[in-house]
């Protein structure tokens, strides 16, 4: 048995809030549309999503994740370390974290609550209203 899912991530207090929904196949436009209906605590809406495929054999009770997609951000501003230093010089902790953790880029997303996260080379930033 094999099923596909999309997990939406929204800003949370300490960790991201997650909502996972079944999806027939890894369909980016459909997932973007589905994101508009996701609301978490305090009205948080998704800043991004990831697809996954879960499988289990006939004799297995639980499924396991067998494949995951890159992370898709629903819009946001991408900044390099140098841009953060010039545009946001008072963000000393952010600059220090970027330098000490070898982060060359971050993304700032303001779909609902502001989130600032490292942008990995495999992440995809989508155009989003």
The domain spans of the chain are 2-73, 76-120
Please compute, for residue 91, the number of CA atoms within 13 A of its CA located in the half-sphere on the CB side: 15
What is the rounded average pLDDT of the residues 98-123?
95
* 117: nearest Cα among 79, 85, 91, 87: 79
pLDDT for the residue numbered 61? 87
pLDDT for the residue numbered 58? 87
Yes or no: say if 76 and 47 are a contact pair by the CB < 8 Å rule.
Answer: yes
The model's confidence at residue 98, banded by pLDDT at 50, 70 and 90, is very high
What is the rounded average pLDDT of the residues 74-96?
96
pLDDT tens, position by position, 11-42 = 998 999 999 999 999 999 999 999 999 999 99
Q: Give 58's contacts (C-beta < 8 A, 6+ positions apart).
A: 1
């Amino acid at each position: 048995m094999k099923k596909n899912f999309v997990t939406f991530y929204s800003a949370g207090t300490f960790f991201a809030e997650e909502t996972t929904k079944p999806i027939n196949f890894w369909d980016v436009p459909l997932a973007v549309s589905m994101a508009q209906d996701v609301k978490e605590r305090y009205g948080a809406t998704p800043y991004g999503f990831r697809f996954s495929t879960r499988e289990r054999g006939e004799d297995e009770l639980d499924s396991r994740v067998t494949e995951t997609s890159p992370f898709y951000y629903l819009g946001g501003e991408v900044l390099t370390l140098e841009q953060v230093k010039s545009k946001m010089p008072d963000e000393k902790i952010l600059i220090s974290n970027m330098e000490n953790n070898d982060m060359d880029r971050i993304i700032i997303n303001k779909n609902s609550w502001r989130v600032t996260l490292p942008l990995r080379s495999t992440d995809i930033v989508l155009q989003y209203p």
